[in-house]
Every structure is written in C-alpha cells, then in structure tokens.
Amino acid sequence: MAYLRFPFSFSQPQPPQFPRPFTAFAAVAAVAGASAAVVAVSSSDRPFLRNALSSFFSSHPSLPLWGSLSLADSGISVLESKTGASFPSVIGPSLKLCGIGLRKKCVLGLKNIDVYAFGVYADDEEIKRHLSEKYGKLSASQLKENKEFTEDLMENDIPMTVRLQIVYGRLSIRSVRSAFEESVGSRLQKFGGSDNKDLLRRFTSQFKDEFKIPRGSIIHLAREKGHVLRTSIDGQEVGSIQSKLLCKSVLDLYFGDEPFDKQAKEEIELNMAAYL
C-alpha cells in the first residue's frame, strides 16, 4: 500500500472547489492502478478533499468515478495525520465520507488524550431526495452553521454511519459504555426528556464486557432506513434498535450544537450541503 502525504493548509472552510494544490493528485494516478492510495490530512485541514478527489476521478475516466466507488474497488483512504487513523472514502454501496475528527477526553483535568478518530458518512442521493427541494437553491457556504439544515439532516430518514477508530491503546469496553451512558444519555434527555432510561440501557448494553477494543478497533454506529441504529464492533453486529430519538441523539454528538470536534462539524455539514 502506498502512503501519500499531501500538504493541505486551508485555514477556513470554503465552498466546494478545486483545491489549490490540485497537481498533487497526479501522484495518485501513478499508483491508482497498482495499489491503494492513502491521502493524509489532519483534522485542521479545511475544506475536506472530497471535491478534489471527485475532480480527479472525473478527469481520469479510466478510473472509477466517485459516485460509483465502493470500499472494495476505490483504493482511496483518508489518513488522519495526528493519530494515523485511516478512513475509506466510501463504505458499503453508497455512503461517502463527509468529514473526520477526533474525540478527546480530559484526564483528571490535566491533559487531553485522543480516545478515537471518527469519520461521518452519508448517502448523497438520499440527502438530495430529502432536502434538495427545501435547500437546493442555497449554496453550501450559505448553509454553513444553518441550524435548521443541521436539524433536518438529523431528523430525516437519511442513511448515515459514524465510524469510530480507537486510537487510545488502554481503552476498555467498560469505558466506552460509560462514556456513551453520559454523552448519549444527555442527548436523549435533551431531545426526548428524562423518561428514556430504558432506551439508553438497551443501547449501552450492546457494549458487553466480553468485547476487547485494542488500538485500531472499529466501531460502526449506522443509521439505516426506518431510523434503525445498527451497531457493530470490528465487523461483528452487536445489536440494532429502531428509534428516531436514539439515531438523532448519536448523530448530535458529531455534528450537533455541541459536537465532540467543532472543526469536524463544519467540514461534515459543508460537504453534506455540497450534495444538494
């Protein structure tokens, strides 16, 4: 596998466009037919390079187009440079990477540790189908930090997946369960009131003590059609719950009002808006 590190240094989110260092993608062409390419970006690089990759594939018709990429045939991944976590550009048949970020945790009030890197994926055609009539005439930059747009992304029945990659080597499944009890629990109360303890218990009980999550472990939190939240750990499904409230509460952690990573939220929303 070829690891290609491209120096992006955009300071502010911009409307989708060809990035200035576009010639860097010639390097991808050199290896695309022979091996997988990993494009390195940090969580501070803005805007996200989805549009550059899209432009690259459209200018190289012999390679798969972005819209038809699959995890098996794309060979393109995005490397979060601080942690080394790698995210495929597409998962499943239709979910495209919209942004990456870091979940940090303060230890004893003294320092932050990187717990996991995350990537948020969405079905672009479903975003168009549900939201283009309402927002299609607005530019991506106009939809930036638009609370109603964010609310509609979380409320509508649009397939999305949050992919978590563990980067802290001493994390236990008990710690994950406890963290979700706190974070998801607060969102359930925020959106649905206090009478949701059973729903929270059903969700957190999926993270059983028998699971081991060493550095590099992958957790998927996938909202599927019908507002079903399907959870898997390293490819093994551990449970599914049909609940619009739970789906919204989980997504709110990553691009809601108080996200784990504010820069990632901006990136995610900007790229989702670009699909309209």
How many angstroms separate the CA atoms of 107 and 191, rounded?
28
> Is residue 34's pLDDT more than 50?
no
Highest mean pLDDT among 45-49, 104-108, 232-236: 232-236
> Whole-model pTM above 0.85?
no
Q: What is the pLDDT at residue 105?
A: 87
Q: Looking at residues 74-87, what average pLDDT do you find?
A: 85
Q: What is the pLDDT at residue 38?
A: 58
Lowest mean pLDDT among 69-78, 87-96, 153-162, 169-178: 69-78
Contact by Cβ (8 Å): 163, 118: yes
> Is residue 254's pLDDT more than 90?
yes
Q: Looking at residues 98-110, what average pLDDT do you find?
A: 85
Find residue 95's DSSP bridge partners. Answer: 91, 123
Q: CB atoms < 10 A from the CB of 46, how many?
A: 21
Q: What are the CA-CA distances from residue 264 to residues 57, 117, 180 (Å)?
A: 24, 11, 19
Sorting pLDDT into bands at 50, 70 and 90, what band is 216?
A: very high
Sorting pLDDT into bands at 50, 70 and 90, what band is 111?
A: confident
Q: Looking at residues 157-176, what average pLDDT do you find?
A: 96
Q: What is the pLDDT at residue 194?
A: 84
Name the residue among 161, 187, 164 with its Cα closest to residue 176: 164
How many angstroms separate the CA atoms of 92 and 118, rounded?
17
Q: Which residue has 């022979």 as its token pair?
A: 34
Q: Looking at residues 217-226, what average pLDDT do you find?
A: 98
Contact by Cβ (8 Å): 75, 36: yes
> Is residue 2's pLDDT more than 50?
no
Q: Looking at residues 103-115, what average pLDDT do you find?
A: 83
Sorting pLDDT into bands at 50, 70 and 90, what band is 258?
A: very high
Q: Name the CATH code of domain 77-274 (choices 3.40.50.2000, 3.20.20.140, 2.30.30.280, 3.50.70.10).
A: 3.50.70.10
Q: In what order do the strands lie in the sheet with 85-88?
A: 2-5, 37-41, 76-80, 85-88
Sorting pLDDT into bands at 50, 70 and 90, what band is 168?
A: very high
113-122: b (≥16 Cβ within 10 Å) or e:
ebbbbbbbbb
Which residues make Cβ contacts (< 8 Å) with residue 23, sequence separation at least 6? none
Q: Looking at residues 265-274, what average pLDDT do you find?
A: 95
Q: What is the pLDDT at residue 153?
A: 98
Q: What is the pLDDT at residue 39?
A: 61
Q: What is the pLDDT at residue 145?
A: 82
Q: Looking at residues 4-32, what average pLDDT do you find?
A: 32
How many angstroms separate the CA atoms of 243 and 139, rounded?
31
> Is residue 5's pLDDT more than 80?
no
The crossing angle, in degrees rounded to 10, of helices 262-273 and 244-255 is 110
Q: Looking at residues 13-19, what average pLDDT do you find?
A: 33
> Is residue 54's pLDDT more than 90?
no
Domain boundaries, the chain: 77-274
Q: Looking at residues 67-81, what average pLDDT do you find?
A: 58
How many angstroms separate the CA atoms of 233 and 275, rounded?
29
Question: Side chain identity at 136, as an amino acid letter?
Answer: G
